[in-house]
Amino acid sequence: MSEKKTSNNQKHDKVRAACVKALILLEQGETLEKSISLAVSGQEFRSIDRRFFLQLVNGTIKMRRRLDHEIKFYLAKPSTELPLKLKNILRLGFYQLHFTDRIPDAAAVSESVNLALLMIDRSKANLVNAVMRSAIREPNKIIFAPKEKEPVKYLGDFYSYPDHFVEYCLNEFGFLATKNLLAYYNEAPHVTYRVNFLKAKPDEVANILTENKIQFSNGKYLPEFLRIESGGLPLESELITSGKVYVQDESSGLAVRLMNPRPGNSILDMTAAPGGKTTYAAIRMRNKGRVTAIDKTEERLEVLVGNCERLGIKIVSPVISDMYDFKGGPFDRVLLDPPCSGWGSAGKHSDLRWAKTSEDTTKLASIQQSMIGRASKLVKPGGVLIYSTCTIIKEENDMVVEEFLAKHKEFEVESAKEFYSDDLVNDKGYVKTYPSAGKLDGSFCVRLKRKDHA
């Protein structure tokens, strides 16, 4: 990796230095996106450096609890809180030792020592050297809580998650399924390409990927989705920029297929930007009909408009509006994808596990309940409301729908079994996906029909 010299002639790897800066900024309260942006500002990274930077940052953030647990076994005073810079240099160093397979131990140690010399002082550099070398010599010093007696602590420490999420999963899924789910979220995330029918066919894109030796697998439920098995965004210019594909997880497309938009329909997407579901609906409508896409911010809608232009979509009408102030309708189909805790896509958002609390979930469920009530007023008699989230938490999914149905007798569930196989649909007719089961993000969606009183 690239090196530069500081004023004291101390060599260091600027990629790793940027990593530590990003980790510190995040812990100080910045968003992950802002932390990354500030850390690399003014740096000229090659694409390989950028990928290495993101791998280290995201991996270290994900595994933060596990790393802290490991580090304490090699400290003279394990209970003492380490200074912010030292703590994150050690986290990054231990991540390289234990969770990467291409970085030699000696390189991980020497680069961590260099960072301590650069960012702190000689004494802390000596401490980093001693701690990391001890970890290499005595790996068996690390122990974990007994899984039978303390499953929450064991799973939280070993797989690096907050206790509240581990507890929820254990209560909902049991030990083995929870273990598999947590392990899956720690794997390197993959991207999925959704083929744009307006510009290409799935076979055409599949052939392009094959010709370029890009490994992929077909969508499990939706044939126009192709899961890329390698990292990055392969053939970005040829496929993404050209509009032949859109990057979207297959789980996100399930809600649109369940909505079953038809050419000529009037569709409302109530939280539309950046446009994944909006554009998929328009494409399934073959550019015939109207998709009204509302969002509160102009900047987010500009991204949606740009996506529509790139994909060749002409039937989307963007509207800047709070959903409670929106005047329009009623519509044949209404799609509501409200703000949620995001626990279905925790593998792709490394900071989510530390940013979300159980109290957040309760607050979100209240907001979701209000939003679905508002959405229901914009559905025609005989029309359909789709409620969709990217979380696996029942309080934001099943419970929101069931409370809504108790208050709105004019709606009923139309089972998703008309659209999907039994392995995807539960006995209430809801669609649920889990990453450890089908390699899709975790998600939920339900089809609610407004009874036709005419």
| Residue 350 burial (CB count, 10 A) | 23
Known catalytic membership, residue 445: no
**Candidates 169, 308, 340, 390; catalytic one:** 390
400-403: list long-range contacts, CB under 8 Å, 24+ apart: 400/365, 400/368, 400/369, 400/372, 401/372, 401/430, 401/446, 401/448, 403/369
What CA–CA distance (Å, rounded) separates 44 from 66? 32
| 3-state SS, residue 254 | helix
For residue 47, which amino acid is it? S
Going by their DSSP bridges, the two strands 266-269 and 379-389 should be labelled as unpaired
Cβ-contact 403, 369 below 8 angstroms: yes
- Cis status, amide bond into 330, omega within 30 of 0: yes
DSSP 310-361: HHT---EEEEE--TTT-----EEEEEE------GGGTTT-TTHHHH--HHHH
- Give the largest CA-CA distance in the chain: 82
What CA–CA distance (Å, rounded) separates 188 from 224? 23
Structure tokens at 253: 């497309």
Just list the catalytic residues: 390
